[in-house]
Amino acid sequence: MTIRCWPIKDIHGGARIAGVQMRLDVKILIVFGFVALSVNLAYAEEHHRGGDDGQTIYKSTCAVCHESLLMGAPVIGDKKDWGPRIAQGDNTLVDHAIHGIRGMPPKGGNSSLTDDEIKAAVEYMVNHSK
C-alpha cells in the first residue's frame, strides 16, 4: 500500500495543509471489502434463526472475509496462516472473534450471534485449518 503525505499550497493565503494520496487499487479493495461485508451482514441478520452449527454460521457471516483475504482475514484451510493463530489457543481465538481484532469487527459484524455460536464458527474454521 502506498500512502504519501505532501504539502499543498492553499491558493487563498499561501498556507500549507497536508494531503494524502492512496493507490487506487487499495481504495477499491477497501470499498469492496466494506460493501461485501455490509451485504453479507444484511443477509446474515435477515436469515439468522439461532442455534445454528459452526458451518452454517461460518457460511452466513464469516466466509465473506475468510475465503477472500478481505480485511487481512486468514483464509480457512491455510495452515501457514492459521498455525500461529491456532497456537494461541481456542479461548484467545474465540475472544478475538467475539470482541474483534484489527480489521475484524466484533462477532464478525453480526451482533445477533451468541457467544456460543461464535465459538462454534471458530471451532469450524480451526478444524478445517489444521
Evaluate whether residue 26 is within a structural domain: no
Question: Do 1 and 23 touch, CB atoms closer than 8 A?
Answer: yes
Evaluate whether residue 59 is within a structural domain: yes
Q: How many domains does the chain have?
A: 1
**From CA 128, how far away is CA 122, in angstroms rounded?**
10
Instruction: Report the chain's mean pLDDT, rounded to a whole number.
Output: 76
Evaluate whether residue 19 is within a structural domain: no
Question: Residue 57: is its pLDDT beyond 70?
Answer: yes
User: In the predicted model, what is the mean pLDDT of residues 108-118?
Assistant: 93
Question: Residue 45: is its pLDDT beyond 70?
Answer: no
**DSSP 3-state of 18:** strand
Which CATH number is 101's domain given? Answer: 1.10.760.10
Evaluate whether residue 51 is within a structural domain: yes
pTM given for the model: 0.62
User: In the predicted model, what is the mean pLDDT of residues 78-106?
Assistant: 94
Evaluate whether residue 96 is within a structural domain: yes
C-alpha cell at 100: 474483534
Evaluate whether residue 14 is within a structural domain: no
> Which of 59, 80, 76 lies closest to 68 in space, CA to CA?
76
What pLDDT does 4 receive?
A: 46
Evaluate whether residue 97 is within a structural domain: yes
Query: Which DSSP symbol is given to 73?
Result: P
**DSSP 3-state of 121:** helix
Residue 55 domain boundaries: 31-127
